[in-house]
Amino acid sequence: MAERIRDYDAFWLHYLREHADPRTRAIHVFGTFVGVGLFVLGLVTTTWWMILLGIISGYAFAWISHMTIERNRPATFTYPLWSLGSDLKMAWLTATGRLDGELRRAGIG
């Protein structure tokens, strides 16, 4: 069994390497924005099923991309909180045009 990652920076670099294919990142980012949007809209309108749909859709896009493109196991199953934070971080860095430097730091592209 692989040794557990002990700090977030090491996890972040591992996370990026697990999302090396730009298609995976694009699907992840799209799913994260859809999921967050539905979740927030559900909170604002107090619509419980929309909150649930936000959570499900965010993970569904990510897991499908891992199964079909990267062919690896999503980090959510081993590091759920770090993975959620990294999904949000990757989406934000993509939206603000700052992901490329982090990808280089992880040895991608």
DSSP codes joined into one string, 14-80? HHHHTT-SHHHHHHHHHHHHHHHHHHHHHHHHT-HHHHHHHHHHHHHHHHHHIIIII-S--GGGT-H
Cα–Cα distance for residue pair 5/34, rounded to 1 Å: 29
Full residue range of the structural domain in which residue 59 is found:
22-105
Asked whether residue 17 is domain-assigned, the answer is no
Our count of domains for the chain comes to: 1
pTM of the predicted structure, to 2 decimals? 0.91
pLDDT exceeds cutoff 90 at 17: yes
Asked whether residue 60 is domain-assigned, the answer is yes
- State pLDDT tens for residues 52-64: 999 999 999 999 9
Q: State the helix-helix crossing angle for 8-17 and 80-95, rounded to 10 degrees.
A: 70
